[in-house]
Amino acid sequence: MSKKRAILFVCTANQCRSPMAEAMMKDYITRMDLPTNWVVQSAGTWAESGHPATPSGVKAMAQRGLDTSSHQSQTITKDLLNQFDLILTMESGHKEAIQIEFPEFSKKVFMLSEMSGAAINIEDPIGGTFEDYLNTANEIDEWIRNGFPGILEILEETEHEQSAD
């Protein structure tokens, strides 16, 4: 039996970028036909629980054949972070906020772009045009695809550390 692999995507309000990343990662894993039992969720550093994804974000995902219409935002808590092997943020500020508030999770928090060897913030499209949401979705998709080998590498390292305990 393959091990569970758990990834949490994080943005600010958990209504735009991280729900997009969650939906795209789940789709990517399905399309790759990966045998591992994956858990992919999203949360926000300043989220209020129970809010839907933004209408433009839902529409941008629908254009990709992905449904985020039932998404409900959730805020980051210690209990939530404890459930994940890897925490991927949209911006450096999200990474820093988690590392300061929850230092015990520092070693498993990275910016999504860091999985590709970069350190680039994915700008928040909130308040922007629908085109801004499409551009953000394209950017997230590119970081997921390019960063997937790095994501797998970190998850495998985490598995080895857990099995050594």
- Over residues 71-100, the mean pLDDT reads 97
Q: How confident is the model at residue 29 (pLDDT cuts 50, 70, 90)?
A: very high
Picking from 49-53, 93-97, 156-160, which range would have the lowest pLDDT averaged per residue?
Answer: 156-160
Edge-to-edge order in the sheet of strand 37-44: 37-44, 4-11, 86-89, 109-111
5, 11, 16, 85: the active-site residue: 11
Domain tally, the chain: 1
d(CA 62, CA 34): 23
pLDDT of 35: 72
To the query of whether residue 141 is one of the catalytic residues in this protein, the response is no
Answer yes or no: is pLDDT of 62 > 80.
yes
Structure tokens at 64: 């990709």
To the query of whether residue 64 is one of the catalytic residues in this protein, the response is no
Global confidence as pTM: 0.95
pLDDT of 2: 54
124, 132, 141, 145: the active-site residue: 124
17, 64, 67, 145: the active-site residue: 17
Q: Where are the alpha helices (DSSP H) in 10-54?
A: 17-32
d(CA 70, CA 58): 9
d(CA 83, CA 79): 7
Q: How confident is the model at residue 1 (pLDDT cuts 50, 70, 90)?
A: very low
Range of the domain at 55: 4-164
d(CA 140, CA 49): 23
Can you give the CATH number for the domain in which 92 is found?
A: 3.40.50.2300
To the query of whether residue 11 is one of the catalytic residues in this protein, the response is yes
Q: How confident is the model at residue 71 (pLDDT cuts 50, 70, 90)?
A: very high
Helices 17-32 & 55-62, crossing angle to 10 degrees?
Answer: 20
